Amino acid sequence: MFQRILVALDNSEKSQSVFEEALSIAKLNHARLMLLHVLSDLDIGYPNVKNLDEHLDKWEEYSKKGLELLQMRQNVATYTGVNTGFTQIPGSAPSTICKLAKCWKADLIVVGHQKISPLQKLARGSVSNYVMHYAPCSVLTIQST
């Protein structure tokens, strides 16, 4: 039985189904949810020294949208009776997810999995693949359709 469920979310459409699956598991198990959004330059592009102010503006907007997403989903979960917290952390998504799972003592991580090309996998790696191999607990991957 799962008591502490970590949910890795991003700004993609797939994120909604990841959240819904985690929420249903939490309700069935009377578990706590921790919603996580990892801030990464991979999502907005690496800074260009010539346009650093522009990058910082993008970063601030990206951070703000992430917090809004987390707050909205926390409100939904809380409304359904699930004890829910959230955090937003800058870093590399795969290692950040695993570190938080260990520190928070999660017994399940719910993460999305999207099909990516072999070239993308080589360049960026697969978040869900990393998490499945290095997580300190069980991992549920939600496939993209």
Q: What is the pLDDT of residues 51-92, one digit of tens each?
A: 677 778 888 998 999 999 999 999 999 999 999 999 999 999
Whole-number Å distance between alpha carbons of 130 and 118: 15
pLDDT for residue 89: 96
Host domain of residue 97? 4-143
pLDDT for residue 13: 83
**Mean pLDDT for the stretch of residues 93-106:** 97
Q: Report how many domains make up the chain.
A: 1
Among 27-36, 95-104, 136-145, the least confident range = 136-145
pLDDT reading at 40 higher than 60: yes
Whole-number Å distance between alpha carbons of 76 and 38: 20
pLDDT tens-digit profile of 7-24? 999 988 889 999 999 999
Kindly report the CATH number assigned to the domain that includes residue 58: 3.40.50.620
Using CA of residue 80, residue 84, residue 86, residue 92, what is the dihedral sign?
A: negative
pLDDT reading at 141 higher than 80: yes
pLDDT for residue 123: 45
